[in-house]
């Protein structure tokens, strides 16, 4: 029975190998292969992004007729409820926006993502956002695109580095397609998802972004998401933008903290997942009774603001900012599915508008550039602040507004907003959980090298094992033959590790022949030694060594001695690992 | 041929790169090394791997036949070295210089020039400190090993006709010389250590005093050496 099973697995392994072998025999150059794969991934994730976008528009407008009824607040509740049940019970994936999962997979699991992730978040986001939940479709398409890249890499038996590149290609293709923004797609993939810049990655990502954008243009036309007229920006406007940067930074921090706190609060107070999501959805529906613009992704509102057609006064705009922040925190914090990208853009544009109204109120005589311009710059400030990724903020806005004319204030606001947010919140919204768990380990850093190296790669197995009943005379014969100063002592009968003898321990008796037959190792060995386990974290072992001023440590598994771990070998392997990891 | 792919087991690649197999395995999985898995083995382009190794401060040195030879070479035994050198009786001479000259002439396998050279080397070493190690025994040897002249190490045993004051540590006159000539320092130290194991034994010293014939001497040394080998392999 067991044999049969074994044979089956072997056959299975053999089969999968055969597939890769067949492939490798006419394998293209690795770089060319990666570029072609990148284009394929960009196309597929671009299609997935378009599908979600179309579905969202469809569901949202289908439900539009129902929104005039008094019970319309229950719509987001129902959507969030269904989305939570779908994620939890059917596809068994965690709620939330999913981007940190992609980053975690890139950093820790070599870009492995599940096949079902290619569609799961598209469905749940469609339910949450289509029903009116305040969240964006970008994070779900990013997750989906990343999963597409990862699974295509798996299909062709690519290695982890290539898989990570394809994951980023999927991300770039998705963002490029959904915003018709190739540069933003590339920059987001590199700055936020990968965290490192290397030519090896950027080239396939560029191809993926082009493919994703092109498929989007073919299928829904080459339109700029938020088109606008040219703005004439004066010196006063640029100065005023610094104030806007501060305001967007404050809003970013507010949104980040509210998202987290509401998440913890709802987790504590409402233990049932679906009930939590439904209550969150109902609350959003309640807010929408007063401020209907908070519903959904909210791009419609942005278009109005950039065109300068949003007529509400300063108080309403101020409340809109807070209402959107609250609605987003409720939707995502309570377990709805969707991203913070679109809400950030909405909050950013309202913040820009608010700032413009304030300026006009304080200095009514100065001529300011149109309010649309401030809405635009506010979006960049908000994105840069919350993601702590200034380049993504700048290029996304340039791409989606087609506005190179506002580049100077854009750069300024993005930089100032990022700097302020970084000062107040050391980790960005995406990375915070990863950093708290100690999982944010970029390649080529100390933490990553130590995390990648395993204890069994460092074991020195040339130690001669001795027994506790051995006479000093016998031991000296062993010392003669050994290359090392450490000798592990095992129990003569059970073979269990007892302790260590160091050459220094017997040095005083080394030339005293009378002691040779009178001393046994039991009398000179150390029983209280620090030991390590083969599965221990290397950073923790090193910390222990530093604390106790040790240069080496025995590694023990199930009471058996496996080998020695020494700083000398570690340095050797550490350097090799570092050189290999920092190679681009 | 530059594009030829080699197909090796992973352990062999790891050994050639002087890395743990687990590291090579992980690097292949992570795509950090230009090696691909192929079935149970790994496939790589040798030139590409060598270039990669050089760029990362590693060395790709496959275990070739030359490396194997040095590993499998069996170190010379004391008996073999003594047999090679021969046992000579009745060596004449009134001074260290003369006695060493006579002893060197016993090394018939050396050419006259090499003998001259060796004699000079031996005298030089004696001037540094006497090689008389006590109990009437001296082990003259040159300071530097003789490379290129001999193929295997030799110990030439020379019993003197009349014991000679040699400046030994215990100031006893020397009656036997073991002229030790080797190719490398390691060989020299190994043979010297084995010889000294015999000479430390009182019974062996008494036996030496009887000025034994070649066969008897080698037989006795052989017994000691077997004990020594047994001790080394015991653990």
Instruction: Please check the confidence at residue B230 and state whether its pLDDT lies above 80.
Output: no
Contact A160 B22 (CB under 8 A): no
Closest-CA residue of chain A to B25? A457
**For A265-282, what is the mean pLDDT?**
83
pLDDT band at A97 (very low <50, low <70, confident <90, very high): low
Query: What are the chain B neighbours of A458 within 8 Å (beta carbons)?
Result: 20
Instruction: Please check the confidence at residue A510 and state whether its pLDDT lies above 90.
Output: no
Instruction: Please check the confidence at residue B30 and state whether its pLDDT lies above 60.
Output: yes
**For B124-135, what is the mean pLDDT?**
85
Closest by alpha carbon to B75, among B144, B153, B180?
B153
Query: What are the chain B neighbours of A441 within 8 Å (beta carbons)?
Result: none
Distance, in Å, from the CA atom of B177 to the CA atom of B179, rounded to the nearest integer, reads: 6
**For B128-141, what is the mean pLDDT?**
86
Nearest chain A Cα distance for residue B36, angstroms:
9
Contact A20 B37 (CB under 8 A): yes
pLDDT band at B80 (very low <50, low <70, confident <90, very high): confident
Distance, in Å, from the CA atom of A435 to the CA atom of B95, rounded to the nearest integer, reads: 84
pLDDT score, position A43: 94
Instruction: Please check the confidence at residue A135 and state whether its pLDDT lies above 60.
Output: yes
Domain with CATH 3.40.930.10 in chain B: 78-233
By the CB < 8 Å criterion, does B1 face chain A?
A: no
Contact A24 B29 (CB under 8 A): no
pLDDT band at B231 (very low <50, low <70, confident <90, very high): low
Query: What are the chain A neighbours of B36 within 8 Å (beta carbons)?
Result: 24
pLDDT score, position A14: 41
Contact A580 B32 (CB under 8 A): yes
Nearest chain B Cα distance for residue A122, angstroms:
29
Averaged pLDDT score across all residues of chain B: 83
Is B160 in contact with B176 (CB distance < 8 Å)? yes
> Which residues touch A319 (CB under 8 Å, ≥6 apart)?
A291
Mutate which: B17, B32, B51, vs A, most A CBs within 10 A = B32
Q: Is A486 helix (H, G, I), strand (E, B) or coil?
A: strand
Mutate which: A153, A576, A581, A583, vs B, most B CBs within 10 A = A576
**Strands of B35-38's sheet, edge to edge?**
B5-8, B41-45, B35-38
Distance, in Å, from the CA atom of A212 to the CA atom of B232, rounded to the nearest integer, reads: 72
Distance, in Å, from the CA atom of B148 to the CA atom of A364, rounded to the nearest integer, reads: 102
Pick the residue with more confidence: A12 or B7?
B7
pLDDT score, position A6: 43
**For A134-143, what is the mean pLDDT?**
88
Distance, in Å, from the CA atom of A449 to the CA atom of A542, rounded to the nearest integer, reads: 13
Instruction: Provide the H-helix boundaries in B106-200.
Output: 112-128, 185-199
pLDDT score, position B3: 57
pLDDT score, position B68: 47
pLDDT score, position B71: 45
Instruction: Please check the confidence at residue A239 and state whether its pLDDT lies above 60.
Output: yes
pLDDT score, position A118: 85
Surface of A (475-504) touching B: CB under 8 A: 477-478, 481
pLDDT band at A78 (very low <50, low <70, confident <90, very high): confident
By the CB < 8 Å criterion, does B27 face chain A?
A: yes
Q: Is B152 helix (H, G, I), strand (E, B) or coil?
A: coil
Pick the residue with more confidence: A289 or B15?
B15
Q: Which of A21, A159, A453 sits opposite B38 (nearest CB)?
A: A21
Instruction: Please check the confidence at residue A157 and state whether its pLDDT lies above 90.
Output: no
Surface of A (152-211) touching B: CB under 8 A: 158-163
Instruction: Please check the confidence at residue A12 and state whether its pLDDT lies above 50.
Output: no
pLDDT band at A279 (very low <50, low <70, confident <90, very high): confident
Contact B30 A110 (CB under 8 A): yes
Looking at A378-392, A446-460, B44-58, B74-88, which range is the least confident one?
B74-88
pLDDT band at A95 (very low <50, low <70, confident <90, very high): low
- Please tell me the CATH code under which domain B78-233 is placed: 3.40.930.10
Distance, in Å, from the CA atom of A192 to the CA atom of A515, rounded to the nearest integer, reads: 67
Instruction: Please check the confidence at residue A124 and state whether its pLDDT lies above 80.
Output: yes
pLDDT score, position A419: 93
By the CB < 8 Å criterion, does B22 face chain A?
A: yes
Q: Which of A159, A457, A477 sits opposite B30 (nearest CB)?
A: A159
pLDDT score, position B114: 85
Mutate which: A580, A581, A582, A583, vs B, most B CBs within 10 A = A580
User: Which of the 8 DSSP states describes residue A453?
Assistant: S
Closest-CA residue of chain A to B5? A25
pLDDT band at B128 (very low <50, low <70, confident <90, very high): confident
> In terms of CATH architecture, what is B5-69?
Orthogonal Bundle (1.10)
Contact A159 B55 (CB under 8 A): no
Query: What are the chain B neighbours of A575 within 8 Å (beta carbons)?
Result: 57
Contact B231 A477 (CB under 8 A): yes
Instruction: Provide the H-helix boundaries in A307-370.
Output: 314-333, 341-362
Pick the residue with more confidence: A22 or A317?
A317
Count how many residues are written for chain A. 584
Instruction: Provide the token pair at A294.
Output: 């908070």
Distance, in Å, from the CA atom of A157 to the CA atom of A166, rounded to the nearest integer, reads: 12
Residue with tokens 């088109």: A227
Mutate which: A10, A159, A198, A475, vs B, most B CBs within 10 A = A159
- For residue A565, what is the enclosing H or E element? strand A560-566
> Given the DSSP bridges, would you call strands B154-164 and B132-134 parallel, antiparallel or unpaired?
unpaired
pLDDT score, position A152: 93
Closest by alpha carbon to B142, among B163, B158, B127?
B127
Surface of A (122-161) touching B: CB under 8 A: 158-161
Instruction: Please check the confidence at residue B62 and state whether its pLDDT lies above 50.
Output: yes
By the CB < 8 Å criterion, does B233 face chain A?
A: no
Nearest chain B Cα distance for residue A448, angstroms:
13
Distance, in Å, from the CA atom of A359 to the CA atom of B156, rounded to the nearest integer, reads: 107
By the CB < 8 Å criterion, does B30 face chain A?
A: yes
pLDDT band at A172 (very low <50, low <70, confident <90, very high): very high
Angle at B169 between CA B165 and CA B170, to 5 degrees: 75
Q: Which of B23, B32, B37 sits opposite A457 (nearest CB)?
A: B23
Looking at A363-372, A472-481, B1-10, B92-101, which range is the least confident one?
B1-10
Question: What's phi and psi for A17, nearest 5 deg?
Answer: -65, -45
Angle between helices A341-362 and A371-387 (to 10 degrees): 130
Contact A24 B26 (CB under 8 A): no
> Which residues touch B118 (CB under 8 Å, ≥6 apart)?
B104, B107, B110, B142, B146, B181
Contact A159 B28 (CB under 8 A): yes
pLDDT score, position A25: 46
Instruction: Please check the confidence at residue A247 and state whether its pLDDT lies above 80.
Output: yes
Q: Which of B30, B56, B231 sits opposite A579 (nearest CB)?
A: B56
Contact A456 B22 (CB under 8 A): yes
Residue A570 to residues A112, A564, B27, Cα–Cα distance (Å): 28, 11, 17
Contact A481 B23 (CB under 8 A): no
Q: Which of A159, A464, A579 sits opposite B29 (nearest CB)?
A: A159
Instruction: Provide the token pair at A129.
Output: 């956002």
Beta bridge partners of A532: A555
ipTM for the predicted complex comes to 0.75
Looking at A38-42, A144-148, A317-321, B67-71, which range is the least confident one?
B67-71
Pick the residue with more confidence: A289 or A38?
A38
Contact B30 A161 (CB under 8 A): yes
Q: Which of A159, A474, A573 sits opposite B31 (nearest CB)?
A: A159
pLDDT band at A170 (very low <50, low <70, confident <90, very high): very high
Q: Which domains does chain A have, with CATH numbers?
A: 29-220 (1.10.3080.10), 235-436 (1.10.3080.10), 449-581 (3.10.580.10)
pLDDT band at A16 (very low <50, low <70, confident <90, very high): very low
Q: Which of B22, B43, B55 sits opposite A457 (nearest CB)?
A: B22
Pick the residue with more confidence: A273 or B122?
B122
Instruction: Please check the confidence at residue A325 and state whether its pLDDT lies above 70.
Output: yes
pLDDT in tens, A401-453: 877 788 888 899 999 999 999 998 888 888 888 888 888 888 778 888 888 88
Nearest chain A Cα distance for residue B38, angstroms:
6
pLDDT in tens, A514-571: 778 888 888 888 888 889 998 888 888 999 999 988 888 999 999 899 999 999 889 9
Domain with CATH 1.10.10 in chain B: 5-69
By the CB < 8 Å criterion, does B33 face chain A?
A: yes
Instruction: Please check the confidence at residue A162 and state whether its pLDDT lies above 70.
Output: yes
By the CB < 8 Å criterion, does A576 face chain B?
A: yes
Instruction: Please check the confidence at residue A368 and state whether its pLDDT lies above 70.
Output: yes
Beta bridge partners of A556: A561
Q: Which of B39, B56, B234 sits opposite A580 (nearest CB)?
A: B56
Query: What are the chain B neighbours of A153 within 8 Å (beta carbons)?
Result: none
Pick the residue with more confidence: B235 or A335?
A335
Is A397 in contact with A408 (CB distance < 8 Å)? no
pLDDT band at A22 (very low <50, low <70, confident <90, very high): very low
Closest by alpha carbon to A448, among A106, A2, A108, A69?
A108
**For A235-254, what is the mean pLDDT?**
90
């Amino acid at each position: 029975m067991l044999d049969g099973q074994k044979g089956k697995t072997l056959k299975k392994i053999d089969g999968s190998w055969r597939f890769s072998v067949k492939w490798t025999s006419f394998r293209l150059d690795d770089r060319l292969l990666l570029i072609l794969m990148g284009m394929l991934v960009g196309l597929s994730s671009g299609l997935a992004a378009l599908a979600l976008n179309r579905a969202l528009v469809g569901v949202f407008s289908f439900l539009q007729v129902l929104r005039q009824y008094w019970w319309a607040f229950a719509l987001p509740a129902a959507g969030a409820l269904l989305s939570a049940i779908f994620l939890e019970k059917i596809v068994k994936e965690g709620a939330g926006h999913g981007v940190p999962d992609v980053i975690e997979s890139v950093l820790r699991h070599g870009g492995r993502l599940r096949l079902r992730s290619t569609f799961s978040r598209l469905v749940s986001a469609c339910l949450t956002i289509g029903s009116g939940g305040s969240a964006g479709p970008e994070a779900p398409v990013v997750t989906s695109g990343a999963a597409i890249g990862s699974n295509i890499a798996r299909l062709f038996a690519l290695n982890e580095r290539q898989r990570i590149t394809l994951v980023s290609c999927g991300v770039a293709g998705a963002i490029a397609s959904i915003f018709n923004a190739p540069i933003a797609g590339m920059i987001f993939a590199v700055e936020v998802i990968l965290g490192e810049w290397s030519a090896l990655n950027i080239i396939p990502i560029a191809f993926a972004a082009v493919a994703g954008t092109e498929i989007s243009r073919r299928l829904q036309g080459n339109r700029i998401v938020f088109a606008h007229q040219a703005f004439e920006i004066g010196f006063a406007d640029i100065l005023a933008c610094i104030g806007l940067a501060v305001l967007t930074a404050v809003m970013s921090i507010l949104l980040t903290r509210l998202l987290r706190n509401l998440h913890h609060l709802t987790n504590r107070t409402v233990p049932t997942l679906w009930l939590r999501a439904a209550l969150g959805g109902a609350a959003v529906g309640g807010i929408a009774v007063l401020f209907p613009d908070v519903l959904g992704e909210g791009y419609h509102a942005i278009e109005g603001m950039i065109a300068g057609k949003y007529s509400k006064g300063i108080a309403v705009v101020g409340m809109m900012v807070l209402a959107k922040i609250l609605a987003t925190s409720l939707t995502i914090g309570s377990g709805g599915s969707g991203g913070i990208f679109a809400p950030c853009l909405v909050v950013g544009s309202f913040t820009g508008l608010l700032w413009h109204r304030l300026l006009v109120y304080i200095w009514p005589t100065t001529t300011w550039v149109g309010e649309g311009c401030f809405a635009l710059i506010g979006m960049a400030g908000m994105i840069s602040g919350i993601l702590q990724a200034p380049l993504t903020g700048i290029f996304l806005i340039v791409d989606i507004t087609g506005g190179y004319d506002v580049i100077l204030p854009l750069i300024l606001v993005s930089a100032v907003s990022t700097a302020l947010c970084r000062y107040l919140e050391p980790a960005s919204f995406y990375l915070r959980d990863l950093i708290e768990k100690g999982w944010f380990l970029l390649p080529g850093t100390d933490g990553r090298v130590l995390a990648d190296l395993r204890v069994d790669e460092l074991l020195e197995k040339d130690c001669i094992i001795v027994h506790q009943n051995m006479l000093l005379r016998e031991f000296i014969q062993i010392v003669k033959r050994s290359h090392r100063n450490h000798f592990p002592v095992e129990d003569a009968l059970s073979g269990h590790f007892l302790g260590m003898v160091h050459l220094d321990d017997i040095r005083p008796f080394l030339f005293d022949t009378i002691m040779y037959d009178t001393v046994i190792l039991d009398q000179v060995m150390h029983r209280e030694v620090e030991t390590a386990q083969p599965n221990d974290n290397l950073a923790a072992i090193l910390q222990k060594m530093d604390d106790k001023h040790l240069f080496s440590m025995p590694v023990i598994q199930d009471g058996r001695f496996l080998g020695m771990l020494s700083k000398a070998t570690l340095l050797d392997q550490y350097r090799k690992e570092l050189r290999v990891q920092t190679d681009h | 041929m530059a594009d030829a792919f080699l197909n090796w087991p992973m352990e062999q690649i790891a050994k050639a790169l002087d890395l743990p197999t687990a590291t090579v395995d992980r690097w292949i999985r992570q795509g950090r090394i230009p090696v691909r898995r192929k079935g149970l083995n790994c496939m790589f382009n040798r030139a590409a791997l060598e270039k990669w190794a050089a760029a990362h401060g590693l060395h790709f040195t496959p275990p070739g036949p030359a490396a194997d030879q040095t590993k499998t070479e069996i170190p010379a035994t004391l008996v073999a070295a003594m047999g090679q050198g021969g046992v000579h009786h009745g060596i004449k001479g009134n001074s260290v210089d003369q006695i060493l000259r006579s002893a060197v002439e016993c090394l018939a396998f050396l050419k006259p020039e090499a003998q001259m050279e060796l004699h000079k080397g031996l005298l030089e070493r004696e001037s540094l400190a006497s090689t008389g190690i006590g109990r009437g025994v001296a082990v003259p040897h040159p300071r530097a090993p003789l490379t290129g002249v001999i193929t295997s190490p030799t110990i030439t045993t020379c019993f003197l006709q009349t014991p000679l004051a040699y400046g030994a540590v215990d100031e006893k006159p020397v009656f036997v010389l073991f002229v030790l000539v080797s190719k490398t320092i390691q060989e020299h130290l190994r043979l010297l250590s084995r010889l000294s194991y015999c000479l430390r034994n009182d019974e062996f010293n008494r036996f030496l005093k009887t000025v034994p014939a070649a066969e008897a001497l080698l037989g006795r040394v052989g017994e000691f050496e077997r004990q020594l080998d047994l001790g080394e392999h015991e653990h």
